[in-house]
Amino acid sequence: MLSKILSTIFPSTILANIMSTLKNKTLLITGGASGIGKLMGKLAIEKGIRTLIIWDVNSSLLEETGRELQSPSCSVRGYVVDVSKTEQIISTANQVRKEVGNIDILINNAGIVVGKYFHEHTHNDIDRSIAINSLALMHIALDFLPGMIERNSGHIVTISSAAGMVGNPKMSVYAASKWAALGWSDSLRIEMEKIGKDIHVTAVTPYYISTGMFAGVKSSIFIPITKPETAARKIIRGIERNALYVRMPLLVYTLQLVKGILPTRLFDFFVGKLLGVYSTMDEFTGRK
């Protein structure tokens, strides 16, 4: 009786593989030459992946990271890609399939933040933010997902943000792009379950991570800024657990519930004033 109830509530693809292994897998990480992208690649190698594919727009960092992470047990392949350009995504994906073969795990990690009030943005700021943070991850997944479906195996990870659930001053376009990323990831997960494919989809919604991308951000003692090493470790662990979501710190897990319960003005007071979230970007400088 219990098994019947569980099979009704949870698709068989969820029950079939509670845990996964990275051993002998091929992993592609966008924005993988620095920050948490690089750290996740390093951890994945330690977990036994066979091939690490790094996409990054910075050619010098890409070469440096490739040399650093190369090991006897793992082949590291780097590709210079500007993921804001769809034609580069398509051509590089074709090159990867030709030179390396199929990928098992895709981590859509590349992202940017402008960090201005909306009226201070240029049209190029808007276009580039949406292209990198939203459109790119869809185009990249579209190139590799059919192969996963054919093999009935794969994992797609989207690095979204807590800003994909809550708006914040000086993050309007960034928040919009991450809301899109989160909505797409959730829908893709449900689609894979609906068509009965053993393809896992994980959405990552961290608060600030102390990388150069968010240099200058200040937070209250109530919501600590996550260290890159901690973020990378939790994401890799989430992949192993086939987690639907990886959120950090713990308070982020309550955001949707609190936002759903509290009236908007009370939510603004609680999150914006008491927790100080709406002031976190006041001294933002970003990566130079």
How would residue 19 be classed by pLDDT, with cut points 50, 70 and 90? confident
pTM for the whole structure:
0.91
Q: Point out the catalytic residue in the list 79, 174, 207, 208.
A: 174
Summarised one tens digit per residue, pLDDT across range 152-180 is: 999 999 999 999 999 999 999 999 999 99
pLDDT tens, 250-267? 889 999 899 999 999 999
Region 17-279: CATH code = 3.40.50.720
- Predicted confidence band at 202 (pLDDT cuts at 50, 70, 90)? very high
pLDDT (tens digit per residue) in 112-148: 999 999 999 999 999 999 999 999 999 999 999 999 9
Distance of CA 249 to the CA centre of its chain: 15
At 122 the pLDDT is 98
Instruction: Please report the sign of the dihedral spanned by the C-alpha atoms of residue 127, residue 133, residue 138, residue 143.
Output: positive
Residues 6+ apart with CB under 8 A from 184: 134, 137, 138, 158
Instruction: Output the pLDDT for position 160.
Output: 96
The residue extents of the domains of the chain are 17-279
Active site residue 174: yes
